[in-house]
Amino acid sequence: MVIFVDMDEVIADAYQAHIDIYNKEFGAEIRAEECLGKEFWQCVPEAHQQSIRNHTRRDGFFKNLKLIEGSQEVLEELSRKHDVYIASAAMEFPQSLREKSDWLDEFFPFIPWQNRILCGNKHVLKGDILIDDRSKNLEPFDGRSIMFTSPHNTHVNTFERAHTWQDIADKLL
Ligand SMILES: [Mg+2]
């Protein structure tokens, strides 16, 4: 099977990074559990929202993301049995290309460059499975769409779901 795996919110914890940066810079104590069903910028006062939107344009943002728990182990196993591709709409933030490539080298060295798609629109992807946290990517996909749970998508109920990488292992290994 050809399996596409998104980066942010699926293997890299961008949502928590937004929270950590905001809490540090604004002296706040917001927790992810308070943000369910919302983008993180929707959880802060309007005057602070632009600051959050700019996080992803900062140097180092994507390089310093923490792993989503279990993603390394399960992806390594999956990539032994299937044709696994990382698929990230990285072109939205051009400076992220290098950082994402370096990040993958560090944490997912078993996924070679030939299996890394840093792209624009994901509608062009043709394969069997797409694991992603965004409806806009999962909806047009022709194969099996699996929504990976992130604070912002907890209220969406139109897709098959994986809450954790253990769920992915249970489904696909
Ligand atoms: Mg994502």
- Mapped to the 3 state alphabet, what secondary structure does 24-39 carry? HHHCCCCCHHHHCCCC
Yes or no: domain 2-13+66-172 corresponds to CATH 1.20.810.10: no
- Answer positive or negative: Cα dihedral of 88, 93, 98, 100: negative
Q: Which residues are catalytic?
A: 6, 8
28 pLDDT band (50/70/90 cuts)? very high
User: In sequence order, which residues have a C-beta less than 8 Å from that of residue 85 and are 6 or more positions away?
Assistant: 2, 3, 4, 5, 115, 116, 117, 127
Name the residue ranges covered by the structural domains of the chain.
Answer: 2-13+66-172, 14-57
**Mean pLDDT on 60-82:** 98
**Mean pLDDT on 102-128:** 98
pLDDT at 115: 98
CA of 6 to the centre of ligand 1 (A): 5
pLDDT at 15: 98
pLDDT at 19: 98
CA of 7 to the centre of ligand 1 (A): 6
CA of 171 to the centre of ligand 1 (A): 20
